[in-house]
Amino acid sequence: MPRQARLDAPGVLHHVMARGIEQSSIFRDSHDMEDFIDRIARIASKKDWFIYAWALMPNHFHLLARTGRKSLSGNMRSLMSGYAGYFNRRHKRHGHLFQNRFKSIVIEEETYFLELVRYIHLNPFRANIMEDISELEHYKYTGHSAIVGNADRPWQDTDEILGRFSTKHRHAIELYQEFLAAGATQGSRHELEGGGLVRSYGGWKEVEKLKRGREKYRTDERILGTSSFVEGILEEAEKQEEKKNTHVTMDSLIRNISKDMGINK
């Protein structure tokens, strides 16, 4: 089955994930993690993307990123190929480091932005890397510590997150911490990573409602959002693809006309 094209355009919000090949570790120590963070930061400092949430796990990573001047694919190629080269040299290994290409999901912001910030930052807690959720505040390998003011990450857009809770900085942090803690017992939420109908319509409960009704709905495994959001994204993607396919340069137009008329340039 051919893989689907990425939905990629400036200003689009993505949940990005990538795993080590055969579930192998992609970070063996803190030095590896710091190198990877530096690479994310360099791309963000050029405004090629805007990072809101992130988490580094032993065999995978998550990013919540909005595309900037450069495409998501271009940024991820720079990040992953550069890091893989560093990792192989440092650990004297050869071959692929990551499993296939990265996964990216276009996000309906109003509904899922904060849910994904929480989901991504709770990854180490869900994986039992720490015993208590309070340890996240000083854990260096997610974006949570920067949001609460315990890590200096000027490239991470923390204001966008805190501004959704309160205009007063300290109060915003307190409300954010309460929001994060409220998700600690949720466990894995496969609709935030999974595919097809469940993701595109916002979870199993909503899917069951749809099955009982007679509404038409559209889904796509590359998108997390309501059916109307999915429809809008796909229509815009189709328009962009049509523009790309019908674009003809002046030089090629002249060549085609000359060929039809038997004129040699």
In this prediction, residue 33 carries a pLDDT of 98
pLDDT digits (tens, 9 = 90+) for 10-63: 788 999 999 999 999 999 999 999 999 999 999 999 999 999 999 999 999 999
Helix and strand element counts for the chain (H, E): 11, 5
CATH number of 13-188, picked from 3.50.50.100, 1.10.10.10, 3.10.110.10, 3.30.70.1290: 3.30.70.1290
Instruction: Give the least confident one: 34-38, 121-125, 138-142, 209-213.
Output: 209-213
E-only strand ranges, 30-81: 49-57, 60-67
Residue 132 CA, chain-centre distance (Å), reads 26
Helix (H, G, I), strand (E, B) or coil at 41: helix
- pLDDT for 211 equals 39
Rounded to an integer, what distance in angstroms lies between the CA atom of residue 131 and that of residue 7?
A: 38
Distance CA 45, CA 43 (A): 6
- Who's near 112: CB < 8 A, 6+ residues apart? 192, 224, 225
Which residue is associated with the tokens 């192989």?
88
Are 262 and 145 contacting, i.e. CB atoms less than 8 angstroms apart?
no
Q: 98 phi and psi, to 5 degrees? A: -100, 150
Domain residues of the chain, as ranges? 13-188
Q: In what order do the strands lie in the sheet with 223-224?
A: 49-57, 60-67, 13-19, 103-107, 223-224
pLDDT at site 228: 56
Rg (the chain; Cα; Å)? 21
Give the amino acid at 265: K
The pLDDT mean for the chain works out to: 80
Give pLDDT, residue 205.
47
Backbone φ and ψ of 19, nearest 5° = -120, 155
Q: What pLDDT is attached to residue 155?
A: 97
Q: What is the pTM (predicted TM-score) of this model?
A: 0.75
The predicted-structure confidence for 31-40, as pLDDT tens digits, reads as follows 999 999 999 9
